[in-house]
Amino acid sequence: MSAHTGRSSAVTVVGLGPMGRALAAAFLAAGVPTTVWNRTPGRDADLVAAGARAAASAAEAVAASPLTVVCVVNYDASDAVLREETVTAALKGRTLVNLSADTPGRARDTAEWAARHGVRYLDGAIMTPAPTIGTDDAVFLHSGPEELYEEHRPVLAALGGTHTHLGEDPGRAAAYDIALLDIFWTAMAGYVHALAVARAEGVTGAELAPFAQGIAAILPPLFTEFAADTDAGTYSGAINPITSAVSTMTHVVHAAEAHGIDTSLMRVIEGQARRVVARGHGSDGYSRVADVITGR
Ligand code: NDP
């Protein structure tokens, strides 16, 4: 296989936090020659024992492979590594895939920087936890030049799971990532708040959890329905008008307040729904909030 197209194509992994280590381990397990580097030394012992080559510097690391995958905490961190002169010079003519998480704007900025320095650039986002890497459960999103993605797809496939190329705009993977993180963190905030309210009412987490899973199970069809609402601008509240939804939100606020539990998050949610009603859309569904919060 050619150095650029085959699964045997060498790869460099920059960043050896839990995710970077998982990526490097998956490449090694798939037989991909792998060079690793991390800002803080000493995080590569297991990987070296599994056959990785430890580079002495970031520049040496990126020079070792046609493809470098960087996975650090954010783009301030990836900039700190990649924009160092010797590293940028070593990257010239090679491919860089940035799987660190950050905003779409930072991804586009990095793509522009890469173009200015002759670095072939793909952006990406990882949507599943480190233990999924190398398994069928891993989910990777990619954006940037399709031809470049196709060229490196065989070696990226060593990371397991599903890989989706979302388009040429380098910010698109991060745009999905941000939207999906928005769902995740607000859901987590709701759940920990629910655990606190339940605990104050003498209901243990273990008692609540099976019913919480029941709530989670009703969400997938709602995701599809709300997506159609916001795409089409139709917000049918035939089954659950927002006037009715607001009432249940107020119950949560009152019950939590009775226990002295912070209700700031639920009050924001309730306030947004009340604004929909105040604008005369009380018979619409909850998805109408998407318009009100964007000033439509
Ligand atoms: P962290 O997000 O904690 O990132 C740790 C890595 O970032 C280490 O390699 C660390 O180096 C490096 N780093 C931090 N600051 C700098 C800097 N200024 N210069 C150079 N390197 C720096 O750990 P993860 O590995 O878990 O995450 C990496 C990325 O993957 C993140 O963007 C995260 O959001 C994303 N991700 C992680 C998931 C997970 O399950 N862990 C799931 C999905 C996405 P050092 O060791 O020297 O501090």
75 Cβ contact partners less than 8 Å away, ≥ 6 residues apart:
98, 100, 102, 103, 106, 107, 109, 110
Is residue 179 exposed (0-12), middle (13-18) or buried (19+ Cβ within 10 Å)?
exposed
Would the CB of 16 count as within 6 Å of ligand 1? yes
Residue from 43, 72, 188 to probe ligand 1 pocket by mutation (most atoms less than 8 Å from CB): 72
**CA 55 to CA 87: how far, in whole Å?**
13
Would the CB of 80 count as within 6 Å of ligand 1? yes
Residue-level pLDDT at 190: 97
Residue-level pLDDT at 296: 78
The answer, yes or no, to whether residue 200 has pLDDT greater than 80, is yes
Q: Kindly state the average pLDDT of the residues 233-259.
A: 92
The answer, yes or no, to whether residue 6 has pLDDT greater than 70, is no
pLDDT in tens, 201-216: 999 999 999 999 999 9
Instruction: Tell me which residue has its CA closest to atom 5 in ligand 1.
Output: 17
Of all atoms in ligand 1, which is nearest to the CA of residue 74? 32
pLDDT in tens, 51-79: 999 999 999 999 999 999 999 999 999 99
Measured CA to CA in angstroms, residue 198 lies from 75, 168, 176, 252 at distances of: 39, 46, 33, 11
Measured CA to CA in angstroms, residue 135 lies from 21, 30, 57, 160 at distances of: 15, 11, 30, 5
Instruction: Tell me which residue has its CA closest to atom 46 in ligand 1.
Output: 40
Q: Kindly state the average pLDDT of the residues 291-296.
A: 88
The answer, yes or no, to whether residue 267 has pLDDT greater than 90, is yes
Of all atoms in ligand 1, which is nearest to the CA of residue 21? 25
Instruction: Tell me which residue has its CA closest to atom 4 in ligand 1.
Output: 73
What structural domains does the chain harbor? 11-168 (3.40.50.720), 201-293 (1.10.1040.10)
Q: How far is the CA of 19 from the centre of ligand 1 (A)?
A: 7
pLDDT in tens, 74-115: 999 999 999 999 999 999 999 999 999 999 999 999 999 999
